[in-house]
Amino acid sequence: MQTLGTQYQPSQWEVEEEPKNYSLTEEAQEILLALWIVLLLAFLMLRWEMAYIALPVLWAFFIAAFFFRPSLDVEVERLIPHNRFLEGQTVEVVLKIRARERIVSLKVVDELPPELELVEGFNWKVLSLRPGEERELRYKIRVRRGIHEFNWVYLAYRDPFRFFRIEKRIEHYTEIVGVPRIEDVPTPYSTKGTKVTVGPLPSPRVGEGVEFHAVREYQPGDPLKIINWKATARTGRVMANEYESERKVDVIFIVDASIKGKVVLDYTVRAAASLMLNAMNDGTSFGMVLAEAVPLWVRIDYGKRHFFKCIDFLSTARPDKNNMISYQVEHLIRSRFPPRAQLVYLSPLVTEESREALRIMSSYGYNVVVISPNPYTAVEPQSQEEELALRLLSLQRKATLKKMRAYGIIVDWDVRKSLKTAIAEVFKA
């Protein structure tokens, strides 16, 4: 999927500032303590000439306080090429700093969202600025899936004597979205349960099409070209040919975001995005259920705008602690799902709740294809004990999936392989 835009789109200069924090440095506190001890000794020993030792230091404090104490009158601007990136993509961030006063030594820190990885350069820099001068801070990050918010720029100043410290945080908001990676995959679902919209996928409905289905008695309103004259002569009744029409299916993608499947949640989201792209390219209308703590239902539609809308929601998917997917699915089946939809269920099937959801889908008569990323293939064992434990868990999973195949077609996806390969292994026939 292409990221949007090619030109730099600068954020606005208007920012909100937190109050400045003025304080003494640790060095200044130590010096003042030493001066206090010297003055105390001078008083106790009546050696007033010792007090003259403090004068140069006090003079330095005076100079630092009145000549090297800026107000940190600084503007910042964060530049990022656009706001959507594929997960794993490397992005350069440019922070422009413009000063309205002379600042001898200014430390600038662009506070990163915790999910982003710094891969090149540094997100901080120490600068010396003249009035009106503009400098840049450049670094590169690696984007992860999700919404990432830059909120603050931290400024810190110390005078040349290192007596005073001035700190200020500038609120400066920028948002980027990491969208899931997408791969080319085959269509893994059957074409049963269709609607009457013409499309590229064959369905078992009869009508005007290209694949011969059966011979039946001619009915008023049928076109004359489908009359089978040989069958008419043989039976003595007007007979007509039936053909399988080419229709497209309504597909609903159900994404299980259970926290117990957290290790493969990114794989689940990528699979959903890839299958949605496949549906969009085939002209198939589709909807989506994102089973989080608050379930998200995206109604059935088609086209690029609908596809990108679903991708945006998938980008924000987070692990769900509540795990109420069976209840959510049954409620939507009764209230939202069309009766002849093809369901694609994306779940690691590691919880009883997720397996119950599959049983419910089947009990309502839906054809279900399950894309199930295997969580045990996403873990690299660190010892022989862990390797043995993973083998036992994998055997238990195989036994469980064997029972669940009574409710739908299950693609047991070893995430070390591509999704395309996993689907091909099941649908090779």
Main-chain dihedrals φ then ψ at residue 276, nearest 5 degrees: -65, -40
Q: Give the rounded distance of the alpha carbon of 223 from its chain centre.
A: 52
Look up residue 258 and give its DSSP letter. Answer: B
Q: Find tokens 């010792």 and name the residue.
A: 50
pLDDT digits (tens, 9 = 90+) for 117-147: 999 999 999 999 999 999 999 999 999 999 9
How is residue 274 written in tokens?
Answer: 């890839």
Nearest to 256 by CA among 175, 148, 368: 368
pLDDT digits (tens, 9 = 90+) for 265-311: 999 999 999 999 999 998 889 999 998 877 899 999 988 999 999 99
Share of the chain above pLDDT 90, in %: 53
User: How far, in Å, CA of 325 to CA of 277, rounded?
Assistant: 24
> Can you give the pLDDT at residue 212?
64
Region 56-70 average pLDDT? 68
Cut 0.85: pTM above it: no
User: How far, in Å, CA of 396 to CA of 399, rounded?
Assistant: 5
Nearest to 252 by CA among 217, 295, 216: 295
Which stretch of 68-82, 213-227, 252-266 has the lowest confidence by average pLDDT?
A: 213-227
Q: Sorting pLDDT into bands at 50, 70 and 90, what band is 160?
A: low
How is residue 119 written in tokens?
Answer: 């891969």
Domain covering 9-179 assigned CATH 2.60.40.10 in the classification: yes
Look up residue 331 and give its DSSP letter. Answer: H
Domain boundaries, the chain: 9-179, 201-247, 248-426
- 222 backbone φψ class: left, alpha, beta (φ>0; ψ -120 to 50): beta
Beta carbons of 112 and 141 less than 8 angstroms apart: yes
C-alpha distances out from residue 148 to 93, 106, 116, 350, Å: 13, 27, 8, 29
pLDDT higher than 60, residue 14: no
* Residue 188 CB-density burial (10 A; 0-12 exposed, 13-18 middle, 19+ buried): buried
Region 383-390 average pLDDT? 91
Q: What is the DSSP string of 349-401?
A: --SHHHHHHHHHHHHTT-EEEEEEE-GGGS---SSHHHHHHHHHHHHHHHHHH
pLDDT digits (tens, 9 = 90+) for 406-429: 999 999 999 999 999 999 999 875
Sort strands 164-179 and 239-256 into parallel, antiparallel or unpaired.
unpaired
> Can you give the pLDDT at residue 248?
63
pLDDT digits (tens, 9 = 90+) for 330-348: 999 999 999 889 999 999 9
- 107 backbone φψ class: left, alpha, beta (φ>0; ψ -120 to 50): beta
Q: Give the rounded distance of the alpha carbon of 292 from its chain centre.
A: 14
User: How far, in Å, CA of 78 to CA of 88, rounded?
Assistant: 21
> Can you give the pLDDT at residue 249?
76
> Can you give the pLDDT at residue 195?
47
Q: What is the CATH number of domain 248-426?
A: 3.40.50.410
